[in-house]
Amino acid sequence: MEEAGRMLSSCALCPRACKANRANGEVGFCKMTDDLYLARAALHMWEEPCITGETGSGAIFFTGCNLGCVFCQNYDLSHRQLGKKVSRKRLLEIFYELKEQGACNINLVTSDVYVPIVAEVIKQAKDQGFDLPFVFNTSSYLQVESVKLLDGLIDIYLPDFKFYTEKKSIEYLKAPGYPAAARACISEMVSQLKRRYGKVCDLDEKGQMKHGVIVRHLLMPGGLLEAKMIVKDLYQSYKDQVYFSLLNQYTPLTEHLKDYPKLRERVREREYQELVDYACHLGISKGYMQEGEAISESFIPAFDFRGV
């Protein structure tokens, strides 16, 4: 764990570059030291079909977040440190337990503030011959150097691209530099997989993703223009090399939104349909959309330390 210790002793994993000595118990914006905290490790059936597969994705939910989203759906997890402390050894055991339960991959959900640690544990697993694909499910507010630590270790990247403009990123995510960071992270992810496999995405005969990049965008109330800009920008850069996942499950949790009246609204079905039509019109053929009503809060799993 030497490399992880070095990187966390003056933390600059994300653009906030707090320089906190997390290895020594200090904390930065994300409020996490170098101790690992998890809230849940269980089969998860609500990812994109090529990630969920037939048996479910082995999703491990990490505690702590480096964003400050005013519309956060998992506030206890991201900012109130809800989680159970686990050792690196225990994380490795969890990989095997999820495989035993039938997981078709190991899905690291918002492990962004632990990148050097998870990189070392994944490496250990791979050295032992652990053969499930690893999924890195990220908000994309990382330095490129952090994503480089995952080169050769992560098979499937699931990056969010939340806002296109600096103005909205600061207002709603409290994250200066978010759009540039997200763009640079996605570019690094695409390059890694292209170098390693010759092409970015590949699915097996059952339609499960073996490796690839799926960019997620959650349509926000009043966010149609931003969403179109994101889709257009990424499609111009990568064409069909990456998958798009356009989400309409925004659920306003109004207790934190009194100063953000627009975000207290729901996304209208016709706006979402306009985004999907726009993506199709651009020529996007690889991707996912959601059908029907916005997904309810029940799709947010219980963070009850199951499997931890």
User: Please, are residues 92 and 125 in contact by the beta-carbon 8 Å criterion?
Assistant: yes
CB of 95 to ligand SF4, least distance (A): 23
Residue 141 CB, nearest approach to ligand SF4 (Å): 8
Which residues have a Cβ under 8 Å from the Cβ of 281 and sit 6 or more positions away? none
For tokens 């909205």, name the residue: 168
201 within 8 A of 286, measured Cβ to Cβ: yes
Q: Can residue 58 be called a binding residue for ligand SF4 (CB under 6 A)?
A: no
Q: Would you count residue 13 as binding ligand SF4 (CB under 6 A)?
A: yes
Q: Is 17 in the site for ligand SF4 (CB under 6 A)?
A: yes
What is the closest distance, in whole angstroms, from the C-beta atom of residue 214 to ligand SF4 in the complex? 23
Strands 57-62, 36-44: pairing is: antiparallel
Q: Which range of residues in 26-34, 77-85, 151-159, 223-231 is near ligand SF4 by CB under 6 A?
A: 26-34
Of 11, 122, 189, 308, the residue at the interface with ligand SF4 (CB under 6 A) is 11
For ligand SF4, give the closer residue by CB, 24 or 128.
24
* 119 in contact with ligand SF4 (CB under 6 A): no
Nearer to ligand SF4, 28 or 287 (CB): 28
Sign of the CA dihedral with 176 first, then 237, 150, and 97 last:
positive
Tell me if 113 contacts ligand SF4 by CB under 6 A.
yes
Distance CA 80, CA 74 (A): 9
Contact pattern from residue 66 through residue 85 relative to ligand SF4, giving x for each residue in contact according to CB under 6 A and a dash for the rest:
x-------------------
What 3-state class would DSSP assign to 218? strand
Q: What is the DSSP string of 133-155?
A: PEEEEE-S-S-HHHHHTTTTT-S
Q: What is the β-pairing status of strands 156-159 and 106-109?
A: unpaired
Site residue total, ligand SF4 (CB under 6 A): 13
What is the distance between the alpha carbons of residues 90 and 42, in angstroms, rounded to a whole number? Answer: 14
Q: Is 213 in the site for ligand SF4 (CB under 6 A)?
A: no
Which of 31, 194 has the CB closer to ligand SF4? 31
Binding range to ligand SF4, per CB under 6 A, among 25-33, 78-86, 236-244, 263-271: 25-33
Our CB check for ligand SF4 shows the closer of 30 and 91 to be 30
Q: Give which of 140, 133, 121, 233 is closest to 193, Cα–Cα.
A: 133
* Binder among 4, 7, 14, 103 for ligand SF4 (CB under 6 A): 14
Give the whole-angstrom CA distance, residue 110 versus residue 234. 22
- Which helix (DSSP H) or strand (DSSP E) does residue 107 occupy? strand 106-109
Helix (H, G, I), strand (E, B) or coil at 194: helix
Helix 224-238 to helix 178-197 angle, to the nearest 10 degrees? 30
Give me the least distance between CB of 146 and ligand SF4, in Å please: 8
Task: Pick the closer one to ligand SF4 by CB: 66 or 208.
Answer: 66
- Tell me which residue has its CB nearest to ligand SF4: 28
Query: Is residue 30 at the binding interface for ligand SF4, with CB under 6 A as the rule?
Result: yes
**CB-CB contact of 176 with 170 (8 Å):** yes
The one among 20, 118, 149, 150 contacting ligand SF4 by CB under 6 A: 20
Under 8 Å between Cβ of 273 and 233: no
Residues that bind ligand SF4 (CB under 6 A): 11-14, 16-18, 20, 28-30, 66, 113
